[in-house]
Amino acid sequence: MEVLIALVIVAAVAAFVSVPLRRRRGTDDDTSLETELADLEARKQAKYREIRDTELDHASGKLEDDDFARQDAELRADAIEILKRIDELGKRPAPETGDAEPPAAPNP
């Protein structure tokens, strides 16, 4: 009887310990997709902050008109590439409070 109980305990421990080894390979792909999407979302938000900062610098006179136009165009092009990559991965950018859309360029 004691031998049977010991075998059941050993089998339960072996099953518990081997769970990570028996994981399906498909979960690695899912994890890498989620990781890439999270990275892209973080990059998108950072790019939006850069666009806002550039607009504030221009409005406060720290950036000349031609420098602002060049920098704003580059930042918005980068943001568009990030959004396209998010769409390619099958995720539409979800609207967030306050930061869903890039700020509009001020009228000169």
The string of DSSP letters for 26-86 reads HHHHHHHHHHHHHHHHHHHHHHHHHHHHHHHHHHTTSS-HHHHHHHHHHHHHHHHHHHHHH
Q: What is the pLDDT along the chain (108 residues), one digit of tens a residue?
A: 888 888 888 888 888 888 777 765 555 666 788 889 999 999 999 999 999 999 999 999 999 999 999 999 999 999 999 999 999 887 444 445 455 555 565 555
pLDDT computed for residue 27 by the predictor: 55
pLDDT computed for residue 102 by the predictor: 58
pLDDT computed for residue 8 by the predictor: 84
Question: Structural domain boundaries of the chain?
Answer: 32-108
pTM score, two decimals?
0.56
